[in-house]
Amino acid sequence: MGYNILAMLSIIRRRSLRTKIIAWSFVPTAIILIAVALTTLNAYQRVTENLVIDRNKKLTDLLARQLSREMTEDIDLITLVARNLDFYANNPGAQQIILGRVNDIVNLRIGESGQAYIIDGSGRLIYHSDSKLIGRDFSGQIVVQRILSGSIGTIRTLETGAFRTRDSGNREIIATYSVISGTSLVFVVEESWDELIRSSQRDRQFLVLLLALGIVVPVLVVAVGVRRITNPIADLISAAQEMAGGNFDRRISASTGDEIEDLAEQFNLMAQQLQASYTNLEQRVVERTKEIEIVNAIGLTISSTLNLDTVLQSIHDHVSRLMGLPDFFYIASYKPESQKVFFEFYLEKGAVVTQLQGQSMDKGGLLGWIIDTGQSLVIHDFNRDKHNLPVDPLFTHKTIVNWQGSWVGIPLKLQDRVTGVISVQSFRPYAFTERHIQMFSAIANQAAVAIENARLYERARQLAVMEERNRLARDLHDSVTQSLYGVTLYAEAAARLLASGMVEVATEHLYELRNTAQEALREMRLLIFELRPPLLQKDGLVAALEARLETVEGRAGLETEFKVSLQDQLPPEVEEGLYRIAQEALNNTLRHAQASRIAVLLHQDQDNVSLQIKDDGVGFDPILAREKGGLGLCGMEERAAQLCSSLIIDSKPGEGTCIRIVIPCSGYRNN
């Protein structure tokens, strides 16, 4: 029983709220009703049994008394019968007298399902409802045995009694007995128990029906009531699920007039607030996405160009995209060595303020405060806050003498060093939100890097120009200037010899003068070619080699030959390495080989790429050249090693020179 209750409670825990309410509100009542019904039925059954038994005892005693009164005249006959049953069994007249007397009384009281009989002290039948049984010995019957066992001494001492038992046909009966007064005979009545309590059975069925109604009706009432309670809750659950799916327009109604209705109202209020929050969140996501796009765009601009004007204009354009075209916008750099602020970029409504852009001013006022503290400064209403801040000398400019509104200054920082200020100004007070300030700070961080990169690039470019000028000066001094100086010496010597009449010697000096002038011309052409924009990055290796041979070697009077057989485009780093090796080899031929013919062969097959430069010049000793460190051999060998190859030099004095490099295709293809 305990296990069943625990199992039922476990099932209730896993059911819906409706089931739980019905179960917890009804189960205790049902248990009590069943217990009361079972107790009532049990008590009713016991009372009914006692009443039936008591009634039958009284009825049997009454019949026995009535028999005693009615049979007083025949008392002698009855006594004789009791003493001599054989006489009674063989004497029909005596039987008729007793049967007539007893039947008149018994048939009025005993129903069709019952039987009555009279026994003597030995259990023999004196009378029976079924006359055929008269005279038989009933001492073996259970009823007779229990009656006779209750007598003490004689039958006359036996008291009226009743008991429930089963007859020989296994029917449940009630047997009542009483001694016929003035005799030694016992009057016994047997009646069917089911017949006696038949009327009470109907009462018991009616009681069971009432019990069932007492259980079913409350269940129905509770179920209807619980449905009225749980339906709004089910609607609430469904609405919550829809809201979890993104439907914030869902609303519920519950006109219950109790806490459920209050809960529905609170749910609708929550849904309304969530809808507003979600809309606001979507707007913030859009704004944040726009801000990220602006920052990324600025970063892309920074990475794609090193032109300072382009970077500054891009920053202004993105600020305008964020908040609309500002009334004033400027970016100022700070030069600590001079304690001055230089306006790199200054716009009024998108137009350049020529009076200020490119100008400088002493550090002071608002800009000075930002530079000194490294902190941003926001003025939401200049008219209201100007007395609490230092006045910037910039505000004396005629375009902003009566300037009012809001102003933001953000420091440009590289690490902990302030390199300038970016400022956005508006005629409207409170024009800048916290989101604007955050975005300006992000833009300022990007701008600081961009401006510094542009400056470094410009400085590097100037240094490169200066270095190139110095290199050209050295090359001019080492080659062309010396050649021209030699031309001058040969010309003066030839003039003196001609004046002295030494024509043959003067002619030799003029030949030397011509050769020296041609060498100077070749050097000048080589320098001019190197000053031109390189064709390698623009048109590739083949075009660059063709242009070099045509412009330098061809114009220097050398016979050139260029053969190309490439199967596919070479990687840029391979083309760069091959070109630099070819350039150095051609320079050596032009300057030192005294060649009349030069051939360049660029070939590619399935396995290798090869470059060969061959001339018919004077040649040289490669071992001796490496020891002296001349002719740029070390540089060419280093470049060949970078290309996973080696430099092959075939040259002897007086036999010309052949330089060859072979690069495996697998090397650069894997890379």
Considering the chain, what is the average pLDDT of its residues?
Answer: 75
655 CB-near residues (< 8 Å, 6+ apart) = 619
- pLDDT band at residue 99, thresholds of 50, 70 and 90? low
8 A C-beta contact, residue 316 and residue 345: yes
- pLDDT band at residue 661, thresholds of 50, 70 and 90? very high
* Distance of alpha carbon 73 from the chain centroid: 113
Residue 393, SS3 per DSSP: helix
pTM (two decimals) = 0.40
What is the per-residue pLDDT across 444-502, written as a single tens digit (0 to 9) for each? 887 788 777 777 877 777 776 677 666 666 665 555 666 666 677 767 777 777 777 78
AA identity, residue 64:
A
Write out the DSSP string of 59-97.
HHHHHHHHHHHHTSTTHHHHHHHHH-HHHHHT-HHHHHH
Least confident of 66-70, 141-145, 388-392, 416-420: 388-392
- pLDDT band at residue 400, thresholds of 50, 70 and 90? very low
Pick from 418, 358, 356: nearest CA to 392: 356
Q: Which pLDDT value is given to residue 650?
A: 92
CATH for the 540-670 domain, from 3.90.550.10, 3.40.50.720, 2.60.40.10, 3.30.565.10:
3.30.565.10
Residue 109, SS3 per DSSP: coil
Q: Which pLDDT value is given to residue 105?
A: 56
Phi-psi region of 302 (alpha: psi -120 to 50; beta: other; left: phi over 0): alpha
8 A C-beta contact, residue 521 and residue 556: yes
Q: Which pLDDT value is given to residue 512?
A: 75
> Are β-strands 186-192 and 172-179 bridged in parallel, bridged antiparallel, or unpaired?
antiparallel
8 A C-beta contact, residue 30 and residue 215: yes
Q: Which pLDDT value is given to residue 556?
A: 78
What is the per-residue pLDDT across 307-355, written as a single tens digit (0 to 9) for each? 777 778 878 887 887 778 888 888 888 888 888 888 888 888 888 888 8
- pLDDT band at residue 564, thresholds of 50, 70 and 90? very high
AA identity, residue 276:
A
Q: Which pLDDT value is given to residue 108?
A: 45
Q: Which pLDDT value is given to residue 466?
A: 75
Q: Which pLDDT value is given to residue 668?
A: 61
Question: What is the CATH number assigned to the segment(s) 18-200?
Answer: 3.30.450.20
CA separation (Å) from 262 to 5, 141, 236, 274, 657?
A: 36, 80, 12, 18, 103
Q: Which pLDDT value is given to residue 340?
A: 87
Q: Could you state, in order of their start, the residue ranges of all structural domains in the chain? A: 18-200, 305-531, 540-670
Paired residues of 345 in beta bridges: 331
Q: Count how many residues are written for the chain.
A: 671
AA identity, residue 118:
I
- pLDDT band at residue 1, thresholds of 50, 70 and 90? very low
Residues 537, 136: Cα–Cα separation, whole Å = 145
> Are β-strands 377-379 and 406-414 bridged in parallel, bridged antiparallel, or unpaired?
antiparallel
Q: Which pLDDT value is given to residue 147?
A: 80
Residues 299, 293: Cα–Cα separation, whole Å = 10
142 CB-near residues (< 8 Å, 6+ apart) = 165, 166, 167, 168
Q: State in words which class domain 305-531 has.
A: alpha beta
Interhelix angle for 503-531 vs 482-499, to 10°? 160
CA separation (Å) from 84 to 72, 81, 112?
A: 19, 5, 31
Rg (C-alpha) for the chain, rounded Å, is 67
Which structure tokens are listed for 462? 């100037």
CB atoms within 10 A of CB 237: 13
What is the per-residue pLDDT across 423-451, written as a single tens digit (0 to 9) for each? 888 888 888 888 888 888 888 887 788 77
Q: Do 18-200 and 305-531 share a fold?
A: yes
Pick from 241, 203, 168, 214: nearest CA to 32: 214
